[in-house]
Chains A and B, each alone.
Chain A
Amino acid sequence: MDFLTLLQVLDSTVRLATPLLLACLAGLFSERAGIFDIGLEGKMLMAAFFSAAVASLTGSVWLGLLAGITGSLVLSGIHGLASITFRGNQLISGVAINFLAAGMTVLIAQDWFSQGGRTPSLMGGGRFNDITLPFADALSDVPILGPVYAQLISGHSILVYVAFACVPLSWWILFRTRFGLRLRAVGEAPEAVDTAGVSVIGLRYAAVAICGLLCGVAGAYLATGLQAGFVKDMTAGRGYIALAALIFAKWRPWYALAACLLFGLLQAVALRYQNIDLGGVIIPVQVMDALPYILTVVILAGFVGKAIPPRAGGEPYVKER
């Protein structure tokens, strides 16, 4: 593999890791506050559809992004209502949200566009275009570092940079602010937060809303950045891979970045090569497809360090009377 191919694989790694990273951070906020969310997939799908639909109707990708985030937030609201207000089973609610998104997106797409459950292809202002960072062209002749800067770091859509900026931002919010401390406390010991006079319900709704916001950006990037338009089931299990990455990262932002880049790399390699020949041993493409899930199971099994979820995760909070 020469240097240029390596750069190309890494470049598509960054692109493929972006939606995973956003969804993973979304899940991080939610689960740190004690709300399990297996509905990441559905929220991304809903956001992907509404961003592509509105972008194609108005020609403005920014309105599309807004619509995508709104769609995702509505599903977050349902999840919050079911799991916080009515103290239902968070996992079942997540399953319902995934199906709701899978069905509604195709239903509305068919009703609005009549193209077999897809949106028209986005063009021009309907997409997030790649932006070239300053000096990228001028520096591209510098050996090694030049091409790395020009191809790998420069030349992505704005949402990619937003996603990567979200990693330190999430870390700062969760571990350096009062809000973050309370949010983490609500996932570990909600009764303590309640005793201190802080609203458990309010904090959990805030976490679920942040989760919806980030899933919305993730979905919008899928439909308007990575691809040009919405197609049926376009998230293709990314929400679950993000969930896997979250466990792999043991619910920590910087590790989430590493896990998402790793899983993005696996996807990029699986896309580029069918079967990989490692000196006589041929690794079939299906192994690459399954590897994120296998790695997560191994982590969950506790063979490589133990992944301990937030203590109050999955349990509705009942105020003592």
Chain B
Amino acid sequence: MDKMPAWADAVLVPLISLILAALLSALVIIAIGESPAAALKLMVEGALMRSAGWGYTLYYATNFIFTGLAVSVAFHARLFNIGGEGQATLGGLGVALVVLYLPWPHWSLALVGASLGAAAFGALWALIPAFLQAKRGSHIVITTIMFNFIAAALLNYVLVNLLKPAGAMDPASALFPSATHLPTFQQMFSSADAPLFRGAPANISFFLALLACVAVWLLIWRTRLGYEIRALGHSESAARYAGISPVRIIIVTMLISGGLSGMMAVNTTMGESERLVMNATEGAGFIGIAVALMGRNHPFGVLLAAILFGFLYQGGAELALWTSIPRELIVVIQALVILFTGALDNMVRMPLEKLFLSMRKGST
């Protein structure tokens, strides 16, 4: 018997968790002697009231959509892919190699090539943890954490020793050829008399992220593979009994998850910095966890959660600029969201279930 109606499960529980997280964040802001209302106003103005603010918000959101989808696809198979950071790092390497060493006549072709490169490298980085989980039973959380650190060291080596142009000081690759520069929102939507998104890094890969949302929705709920992934997530023994190979599904799911994480690099490396730099991911791989938890592993939820976190990131930058509140406030909010929507889920759910049960008893 369902203890709660479906709408309560899908909307009420995450909403209450979110409100709790927001209340605690407000308390933190009060504790450091600032006004939460003023902070929120500043964040909304900086992130949502100007087109340039939206340009940043959607730029961050693009990253979070990719990593959030990556985490949620793995969650459907009850795998916790905490290695989005490493997979995105490798994705950046894939983008850089494809863009730097192949001659691209036009950005649109380069975008396709770079996306494939990013996805392939990201998937490759998820392959070994996936294989170890599927074949040798080593815990995927631990192996993906280890691979995050190995990826950082690898990128460091490749940038310093192989990709850095001769004579350059900072560890970064050469600039990408201008033919491969992706159109930004400013170039796409601005006109001479109505300048929009001025200077903002949002670019065409936002639409790539939207496509990825649709593709993941189709994959999970409209294909045989998606059905198998969800079946494995619900019960491994049942899936095995139905003739589904857990080894195959674990590896395929992780390849998709790693590929999605890797594609984040198209936005950061090709769309924004236009060269490969150290630490381009900036923790977006971890934010994917919060986004997936808040979005209830549904692509539409992930999209909304990613935009919310994009807003938090851009708003947090505004706060750091205009007040004495450091950017780390966003990290705290992110932690509270993960805590309440993920780990303390039952704290909200248990009383609600009791409430709904007693209401049902009262009506019959």
Counting chain B CB atoms within 10 Å of each CB, which of A240, A300, A302 scores highest?
A300
Q: Does A256 contact B (CB under 8 A)?
A: no
Kindly list chain A residues whose C-beta atoms are within 8 Å of the C-beta of B293.
92
Kindly list chain A residues whose C-beta atoms are within 8 Å of the C-beta of B138.
297, 300-302, 307
A96 touches B343 (CB 8 A): yes
For the residues of A in contact with B, the DSSP-based class is helix
Kindly list chain B residues whose C-beta atoms are within 8 Å of the C-beta of A89.
80, 342-343
* Distance between Cα atoms of A12 and B37 in the complex (Å): 49
Q: Does A103 contact B (CB under 8 A)?
A: yes
Q: How far is the CB of B270 from chain A (nearest CB, A)?
A: 25
Q: Does B336 contact A (CB under 8 A)?
A: yes
B330 touches A103 (CB 8 A): yes
Q: Given A91-B80, A240-B149, A297-B128, do A107 and B339 touch, yes or no (CB 8 Å)?
A: no
* Distance between Cα atoms of A38 and B343 in the complex (Å): 13
Kindly list chain A residues whose C-beta atoms are within 8 Å of the C-beta of B28.
104, 107
Which residues 244-277 of A sit at the B interface, judged by CB distance below 8 A?
244, 247
A297 touches B328 (CB 8 A): no
B339 touches A82 (CB 8 A): yes
Q: When each residue 66-103 of chain A gets 1 if its CB lies under 8 Å from chain B and 0 otherwise, what string results? A: 00000000000010011100111111110111111011
B332 touches A100 (CB 8 A): yes
Q: How far is the CB of A130 from chain B (nearest CB, A)?
A: 31
- Spot the interface stretch: A158-166, A169-177, A283-291: A283-291
Q: Does A190 contact B (CB under 8 A)?
A: no
Kindly list chain A residues whose C-beta atoms are within 8 Å of the C-beta of B332.
99-100, 103-104, 107
* Distance between Cα atoms of A89 and B160 in the complex (Å): 39
* Distance between Cα atoms of A286 and B159 in the complex (Å): 11
A88 touches B149 (CB 8 A): no
Q: When each residue 1-38 of chain B gets 1 if its CB lies under 8 Å from chain A and 0 otherwise, what string results? A: 00000000000000000000000000010011100000
* Distance between Cα atoms of A108 and B326 in the complex (Å): 10
Q: When each residue 83-108 of chain B gets 1 if its CB lies under 8 Å from chain A and 0 otherwise, what string results? A: 00000000000000000000000000
Q: How far is the CB of A291 from chain B (nearest CB, A)?
A: 9
Q: How far is the CB of B209 from chain A (nearest CB, A)?
A: 23
Kindly list chain A residues whose C-beta atoms are within 8 Å of the C-beta of B136.
300-302
Q: Given A100-B332, A103-B334, A300-B143, do A110 and B339 touch, yes or no (CB 8 Å)?
A: no
A296 touches B146 (CB 8 A): yes
Q: Does A294 contact B (CB under 8 A)?
A: yes
Q: Given A88-B343, A103-B329, A287-B153, do A95 and B338 touch, yes or no (CB 8 Å)?
A: yes
Counting chain A CB atoms within 10 Å of each CB, which of B330, B334, B338, B343 scores highest?
B343
Q: Does A237 contact B (CB under 8 A)?
A: yes
Q: How large is the interface on A (under 10, 10 to 19, 20 to 34, 35 or more residues)?
A: 35 or more
A240 touches B286 (CB 8 A): no
* Distance between Cα atoms of A188 and B149 in the complex (Å): 30
Kindly list chain A residues whose C-beta atoms are within 8 Å of the C-beta of B142.
243-244, 247, 296, 300
Q: Does B344 contact A (CB under 8 A)?
A: yes
* Distance between Cα atoms of A93 and B346 in the complex (Å): 12
Q: How far is the CB of B61 from chain A (nearest CB, A)?
A: 19
Kindly list chain B residues whose C-beta atoms are within 8 Å of the C-beta of A106.
326, 328, 331
Chain A residue with the shortest CB-CB distance to B158:
A286
Q: How large is the interface on B (under 10, 10 to 19, 20 to 34, 35 or more residues)?
A: 35 or more
Kindly list chain A residues whose C-beta atoms are within 8 Å of the C-beta of B328.
102-104, 106-107, 110, 117
Kindly list chain B residues whose C-beta atoms are within 8 Å of the C-beta of A100.
332, 335-336, 339
Kindly list chain B residues whose C-beta atoms are within 8 Å of the C-beta of A102.
328, 331, 335
Kindly list chain B residues whose C-beta atoms are within 8 Å of the C-beta of A114.
324
Kindly list chain A residues whose C-beta atoms are within 8 Å of the C-beta of B326.
106-107, 110, 117
A111 touches B145 (CB 8 A): no
B346 touches A300 (CB 8 A): no
* Distance between Cα atoms of A97 and B331 in the complex (Å): 11
Q: Given A88-B342, A106-B326, do A301 and B132 touch, yes or no (CB 8 Å)?
A: yes
For the residues of B in contact with A, the DSSP-based class is helix
Counting chain A CB atoms within 10 Å of each CB, which of B160, B330, B335, B346 scores highest?
B335
Kindly list chain B residues whose C-beta atoms are within 8 Å of the C-beta of A88.
342-347
Q: Does A155 contact B (CB under 8 A)?
A: no
* Distance between Cα atoms of A260 and B28 in the complex (Å): 37
Kindly list chain A residues whose C-beta atoms are within 8 Å of the C-beta of B331.
99, 102-103, 106
Q: How far is the CB of A238 from chain B (nearest CB, A)?
A: 11
Q: When each residue 290-319 of chain A gets 1 if its CB lies under 8 Å from chain B and 0 otherwise, what string results? A: 100110110011100001010000000000
Chain B residue with the shortest CB-CB distance to A110:
B326
A99 touches B146 (CB 8 A): no
* Distance between Cα atoms of A289 and B143 in the complex (Å): 16
Q: How far is the CB of A312 from chain B (nearest CB, A)?
A: 14
Counting chain A CB atoms within 10 Å of each CB, which of B156, B325, B331 scores highest?
B331
Which residues 121-143 of B sit at the A interface, judged by CB distance below 8 A?
128, 132, 136, 138-139, 141-143
- Contact among A81, A95, A289, A300 for B289, CB-based, below 8 A: A95
Please list the 5 inter-chain residue pairs (A to B) with the smallest Cβ-Cβ separation, ordered nearest first.
A103-B331, A93-B343, A99-B335, A103-B332, A290-B153
Further 8 A-B residue pairs, CB within 8 A, beyond A93-B343, A96-B336: A88-B346, A92-B293, A107-B28, A117-B328, A286-B156, A300-B142, A302-B138, A307-B138
Q: List 27 A-B contacts (CB under 8 A).
A: A81-B344, A82-B344, A87-B346, A92-B80, A92-B293, A92-B338, A93-B339, A93-B343, A100-B335, A100-B336, A104-B328, A106-B326, A106-B328, A107-B326, A107-B329, A110-B326, A114-B324, A117-B328, A240-B149, A286-B153, A287-B157, A290-B149, A290-B150, A294-B150, A296-B146, A297-B132, A297-B143
